[in-house]
Amino acid sequence: MARKTLNDGELLDQVVALEDSGHKRLILVYGEHPDYTPEFMAHTVRLVYSVKSGKGEIRRVNINAAPMDHGGYKIVKEAGIGTYQIFQETYHQATYAAVHPTQTHKGDYLYRLHGLTRAYEAGCDDVGIGALFGLYDWRYEVMGLVAHSRFLMERFGCGPHTISFPRLRRAHGVELDSRYMVSDAHFKKLVAILRLCVPYTGMILTARETPEIRREVMGFGVSQIDAGTRIELAGYTMTGKQQMNKEQFQIGDVRPMDEIMRELLQNGYVPSFCTSCYRKGRTGKQFMEFAVPGFIKDFCTPNALLTLEEYLEDYASPETRTIGHEVVERELSRMSDSRVKAATRAGLDRMRTSGARDIYS
């Protein structure tokens, strides 16, 4: 497998490519290497925030990284991260030990399990959890995710901001053990169960899944997907065929951003690039006060329409722009609060007539 760490110039090139396609949110994945120190992570986060390409910018940088001590979390928090994401991979301890031998960098099950506890204690109040389905029985992993969510809520008054449920996929040079591979039917079931058990959390459906599965599972309460995903090293600036020896695994949905945006709009969804809660300080317990009873929709709908309008004006194809404007008008007509409706309309008009951007509440 080809492996390397992007230098600053290579990282900047990737961010420019992402911004030029319309992305406003980004997750940086660091893997489990001892050279990826908190100081290194903080440096790369600040570097990403510094990039401005045309009208583009990354407004929220989330990170997926190895667990660290309290001091490390404070360093990355000060860099302005959004969500700090740690996947336990498997909550089944014997399976964890089998795939992460104790002498390896990732071998301490309990240190990883309590990684987000230390994150909360250090001031990171926006965290994400996940399991890699296919390592052990999917029912056990679902129970692990639900139990972890309940623990965080009871201990800190704030459950996970996101839950991820990726399925194990084929990778270059790897033979899969099929005993615990999750069927499409069971995958749909586990997503529904997680949504019912943790109703306030963001549910992340990744591009590991095929377009067909993503279309169906979206209706089960999924709130976040990725689009235009490339997981090859420096993949966003590469042209031509995917290079398997540079991928961590195979992805199932390789469609470009605009195509996915257009399909979402055609299917009645409102694609949102919103980052307002993080930048307004609505995180942690405060976010839960809005999210658990459902009040967050009073912020979500206006901010979703405003960030969607940014995409339509700056990056969308003519066909996507036409459909998108129809969706924006439809959603405006459904707003019951006249004050919120008027403010949203005023923001949209400013975007279209004067080129204003980054209007949010």
What burial letters (b/e) apply to 26-59, b meaning 16+ CB within 10 Å?
bebebeeeeebebebbbebbebbbebeeeebbbb
Given this model, what pLDDT does residue 232 score?
66
pTM for the model: 0.90
Tens of pLDDT, residue by residue, the chain (361 residues): 667 788 999 999 999 999 999 999 999 999 888 889 999 999 999 999 999 999 999 999 999 999 999 999 999 999 999 999 999 999 999 999 999 988 887 899 999 999 999 999 999 999 999 999 999 999 999 999 999 999 999 999 999 999 999 999 877 677 777 789 999 999 999 999 999 999 999 999 998 899 999 999 999 989 999 887 776 666 667 755 555 555 555 677 788 899 999 999 999 999 999 999 888 888 888 888 888 887 787 888 999 999 999 999 999 999 999 999 999 999 999 999 899 999 999 999 999 999 999 999 8
Q: Which CATH superfamily is domain 8-255 in?
A: Aldolase class I (3.20.20.70)
Q: Report d(CA 197, CA 210) in Å as an integer.
A: 25
Is residue 68 packed enough to be buried (19+ CB in 10 Å), middle (13-18) or exposed (0-12)? buried
Are the C-beta atoms of residues 266 and 260 closer than 8 Å to each other?
no
Closest CA to 150 of 137, 163, 139: 163
Spell out the domain ranges in the chain.
8-255, 278-361
Among 237, 234, 190, CA closest to 209: 190
Residues 6+ apart with CB under 8 A from 3: 233
